[in-house]
Amino acid sequence: MEIVHYPHPALRWKSKPILEIGSELRSTVAKMFELMYEAKGIGLAANQVALPWRFFIINVTGEANPEEEFVFINPEIKSRKGSVEGEEGCLSLPETFGQVRRAEEIVVEAFDLKGHGFEMELEELPGRVVQHETDHLDGVIFPDRMTEMALKEIEADLADFEDVFRRKQKRGEIPSDDDLKKTLRDLELSM
């Protein structure tokens, strides 16, 4: 398992709801927390490790501590209030940052790894991270939320990611987009 980089097709994939919580999902979540900490991240969606399933993990401290780790399975943002702009980055777009407008406060509903439903009211960094990761599950990346002017500032970064990805495909280090999409479809069916 590894974090995929833009423009991997998984980052544009609309995730399928999780129908069963079992040992395979728990194992995947544990690996994702390890990857996230290694990459110095605070949130990671299943799409970012090329899995087409509707869940993500967060720990806004960025420090390995089970008390601060949250798993959101089949999350739904039920309400949004206010609006605030802030800087965002993404483990699938390393070292790239941009200003993104998000709701100031949200209410999110999801299930945990035990299958228990929960609701959280979030604001500030936790609210921003949950909105960012929920976007991933819908195939939306943070540059999609930036203003045209702000997007111009990172266009060169996006072009570089595209160039590196396509060169790796030409060398056979990464499968073709069609093969990657087929794998995602097969994974959806395996759920």
Q: What is the pLDDT of residues 170-190, one digit of tens each?
A: 999 999 999 999 999 999 888
Whose tokens are 């999801």? That residue is 110
Total structural domains in the chain? Answer: 1
Show the domain range for 176. Answer: 9-190
Residue 4 in any domain: the answer is: no
% pLDDT > 70, the chain:
100
Mean pLDDT of the chain: 95
**What Å distances lie between residue 75 and 10, 13, 119, 131, 143, CA to CA?**
18, 16, 9, 10, 22
Catalytic residue numbers, as ranges: 133
Q: Per-residue pLDDT tens for 144-154?
A: 999 999 999 99
Q: Measured on CA atoms in the order 78, 98, 46, 72, is the torsion positive or negative?
A: negative
Q: Measured on CA atoms in the order 25, 18, 47, 107, is the torsion positive or negative?
A: negative
pLDDT at 190: 80
Residue 152 in any domain: the answer is: yes
Residue 154 in any domain: the answer is: yes
CATH for 98: 3.90.45.10
Q: Pick from 120, 33, 109, 121: which is nearest to 74 by CA?
A: 109
Whose tokens are 């093969």? That residue is 179
Q: What 8-state DSSP symbol labels residue 142?
A: G
Residue 33 in any domain: the answer is: yes
- At residue 60, what are phi and psi to the nearest 5 degrees? -70, -10
Residue 29 contacts residue 1 (beta carbons within 8 Å): no
